[in-house]
Amino acid sequence: MISQNIVAIGGGGFGRSLGNLKIEKYIVSLVNKKVPKICFIPTASGDNDLYKLNFYRAFSKLNCETSHIDFFSRTEELEEKILSQDIVYVGGGNTKSMLAVWRDWNLNLILKKAYENGIVMSGVSAGAICWFEKGITDSYAKSLEILNCLGFVKGIACPHFDEEKEREPYVNDLIKRDFINSCICIEGYSALHINKNGFKTINFGDNKKCFKLYKENNNILKKFF
């Protein structure tokens, strides 16, 4: 049976600081190869050059064969590139714009094929929520919004849950008003590893957590992963 893995990071990692690369090492450990191939997709940041440089610095230290995909300069043949990887890592930024670009290039379909083939999907913030049916995004300047995402994983996800003060009240209000049934919340410096066994929290900060928020008897409850 093909092993399918998603690592959804709530915040932190090489984009902020190279640090001890704890979460990056965890992602690489999911591939049983001496030199895994990993591709960075920084679309949500507009293919930011410094972000790409930090990616190469981080994963080169972990004995990976590194590459990236640009959409705002000449774009290579996507299916051939993605399906030759062991790991895909999606950077943070504007989720709505990222998904619009991907869909225009049919990258959403290619990523689904890669995931089904056992290529590890991973990413932070925009690169965390994109794998779910829906995500809570700050792509809009004035308010948080619910955004339709790729749908590899059922449910609604929210990154940066403890890092950005508006997120918790926004999600609580949606649940209280029965606008959504529940939300998968991923704190900064934590990640949610999703595979056939379910959901597992990876804490790479100071006791950071992932959990599901839901309503029962008019109370908002947490189920920790």
d(CA 103, CA 158): 22
Q: Compute CA 174 distance to the chain's CA centroid, rounded to the nearest angstrom.
A: 22
The label of the residue with tokens 């998968």 reads 184
**String of DSSP letters for the chain:** -----EEEE-S-STTT--TT-HHHHHHHHTS--SS-EEEEE-GGGTS-HHHHHHHHHHHHTTT-EEEE--SSS----HHHHHHT-SEEEE--S-HHHHHHHHHHTTHHHHHHHHHHTTPEEEEETHHHHTTEEEEEE--SSS--EEEE---SEEEEEESSTTTSTTHHHHHHHHHHTTS-SEEEEE-TTEEEEEETTEEEEEE-SSS--EEEEEEETTEEEEEE-
Active-site annotation, residues? 125, 160
d(CA 180, CA 215): 10
